[in-house]
Structure 1
């Protein structure tokens, strides 16, 4: 008697946007209000371009994590709409999520299983995953995040950084059109952070859109092409990273062994926010001509070794927009 094998599961149809020019993620008036009236996300209009590495920034309690959970269909919005890969969420979650890799709020792991076995479990739970290539794909994902040598080690013995790597490996088990990463370098040493940043760039160069939440402004500036800034549940700004930084004023920098005298002269010239270090004075750029300020320093006997305006960083733009420092992990 001929033995019948169970049919392989058919993959979910790949979602296609209504318009090829649509953003990979697009929200309109997206709002989440919890019981008790707490407004976590307020009327969010977000647009993530295809092929971008999109940084998502905001102070603690700004609504970033709530937004990500709505985008992934984990919670429903109170009002407004969210579209991912051209399809409405959470309604089209079954069609969309097979094409999305996600690492949100840290990976959920079986501590008694090895890193390799955790990934095998993850892959087996995916109805679109081909079991015939499972071990090969798991090995490739482990290699890509630098965990091959620790693949047989139990996950409970992994450091926080290793767990982050394993969670990222789970998101990379299959080719994805979109990767959603929440603090992907959390717990990594500087070398590990560089490796993950390099991997993000590599994935983006392959055409994967990356949506990356991070409290590290330097990280966003190094790897992201676009960014959005949230504060108190509302979108403050979004756009190319270079344009966001350009929208903030830079800092006037004077290098001199006479820092105290330089600071005094700058204040006399009406220059604000003067900060003095050992041989360097920084301040807000003056409204008037820089040459006149430099001439006043020289006339006062200040030995000017360097004088100019440094380009604004993303941190400068963030502080200008939110009025807060960069404790933005919430």
Structure 2
């Protein structure tokens, strides 16, 4: 179906998508998801939330129990032969031939692509290795690669051909901080070139840094989706007081009906005060009680704040 003039184009769109395994609750329950063209879309959720099951249905690896999924405008899994050549994917870690070198693994992957021109195969492989920083290790056997190097090689395989859509499941798993920065930079470059990136990650900070849009799943259901800035803005920030008198500060905040979340060293963190509270009056109350205030303010809400508010889960939500 052609998009009307001026309408946003959806690269991924699901309606009531459901996957139910025999004898259990749905792994994915009536998911209606929209991924706009050109987005870097973060897919978040705690263990068992249905993220990987959703990705496997989108890629045609498993059939849904109900609902529909469209990828690049085509129904999946029915149109897999049309869709998948336009999609690069790294799902649940790369499947590699350990006895082959990194370069030879990519040559095998490229040879399996019926759309790949064999005359330019080595040039494509060299370019993909360079993009993920593996050129120096190209001749090393894959079984000798670290987990991070294997992730890079899997990403290189997904980048052998120009792709309209790149689907990445935990792409920075096993990478050191420098490698994570390089992958984030690569994702931004791909997006600027027009590739839509669908990124599953348990690193909320990573999603906030690199993604333009995000969705949050819990127990198989979609809790929210939209631009990252709007999701964070919808959460409440935190009040912080820096003082050498944390016990007194806690007492004053509680007297004003403010819930104290934590006190570590000289930093007291609390729920934000009610909207009608005058922050100047609150500061004056702290000072009047003898609290030596070295810092005071309401921090902007982060994506982590929004995630915790929605799911009740802590920061580590791998799965």
State whether structure 2 residue 10 is matched by structure 1 residue 18: no
- Give 1:125 deviation, angstroms: 0.3
How big is each residue's C-alpha offset from its partner over 1:157-203, in whole Å with a ceiling of 9 and x where there is no partner?
Answer: 00000000000000000000000000000000010000000000010
Q: Residues 43 and 199 of structure 2 are in contact (CA less than 8 Å); yes or no, is this contact kept in structure 1?
A: yes
State whether structure 2 residue 175 is matched by structure 1 residue 188: yes
For residues 181-330 of structure 1, what are the structure 2 equivalents within 5 Å?
181-287=168-274, 288-330=277-319
How big is each residue's C-alpha offset from its partner over 1:264-317, in whole Å with a ceiling of 9 and x where there is no partner?
Answer: 111111111342111111100111222221111011111111111000111110
Residues 320-329 or 149-158, more deviating: 320-329
Report the 3-state secondary structure (helix = DSSP H, G, I; strand = E; otherwise coil) of the residue aligned with 1:51. Answer: coil
TM-score for both structures, normalised by structure 2: 0.97
Report the 3-state secondary structure (helix = DSSP H, G, I; strand = E; otherwise coil) of the residue aligned with 2:10. Answer: coil
Q: 74, 81, 95: which is aligned to 2:61?
A: 74
For residues 75-94 of structure 1, what are the structure 2 equivalents within 5 Å?
75-94=62-81
Gaps of 5+ in 2: none
For residues 31-70 of structure 1, what are the structure 2 equivalents within 5 Å?
31-70=18-57
**How many angstroms apart in 2 are the aligned matches of 1:119 and 1:61?**
32
Residues 106-115 or 270-279, more deviating: 270-279
Q: Residues 60 and 327 of structure 1 are in contact (CA less than 8 Å); yes or no, is this contact kept in structure 2?
A: no
**How many angstroms apart in 2 are the aligned matches of 1:149 and 1:48?**
36
Structure 2 equivalent of residue 14 of structure 1:
none
Q: Residues 267 and 274 of structure 1 are in contact (CA less than 8 Å); yes or no, is this contact kept in structure 2?
A: no
**How many angstroms apart in 2 are the aligned matches of 1:66 and 1:198?**
27
**How many angstroms apart in 1 are the aligned matches of 2:195 and 2:204?**
22
Q: Residues 59 and 329 of structure 1 are in contact (CA less than 8 Å); yes or no, is this contact kept in structure 2?
A: yes
Structure 1 equivalent of residue 101 of structure 2:
114
**How many angstroms apart in 1 are the aligned matches of 2:316 and 2:202?**
7
**How many angstroms apart in 2 are the aligned matches of 1:218 and 1:24?**
25
- Give 1:326 deviation, angstroms: 2.3
Q: Residues 241 and 297 of structure 2 are in contact (CA less than 8 Å); yes or no, is this contact kept in structure 1?
A: yes
Q: Residues 250 and 260 of structure 2 are in contact (CA less than 8 Å); yes or no, is this contact kept in structure 1?
A: no
- Give 1:64 deviation, angstroms: 0.3
**How many angstroms apart in 1 are the aligned matches of 2:134 and 2:9?**
36
Q: Residues 214 and 228 of structure 2 are in contact (CA less than 8 Å); yes or no, is this contact kept in structure 1?
A: yes
**How many angstroms apart in 1 are the aligned matches of 2:315 and 2:71?**
28
TM-score for both structures, normalised by structure 1: 0.94
Report the 3-state secondary structure (helix = DSSP H, G, I; strand = E; otherwise coil) of the residue aligned with 1:19. Answer: coil
Structure 2 equivalent of residue 126 of structure 1:
113
Gaps of 5+ in 1: 1-16
RMSD: 0.9
Q: Residues 62 and 231 of structure 1 are in contact (CA less than 8 Å); yes or no, is this contact kept in structure 2?
A: yes
Structure 2 equivalent of residue 13 of structure 1:
none
**How many angstroms apart in 2 are the aligned matches of 1:274 and 1:169?**
44
Report the 3-state secondary structure (helix = DSSP H, G, I; strand = E; otherwise coil) of the residue aligned with 2:206. Answer: helix
Structure 2 equivalent of residue 27 of structure 1:
14
Q: Residues 49 and 219 of structure 2 are in contact (CA less than 8 Å); yes or no, is this contact kept in structure 1?
A: yes
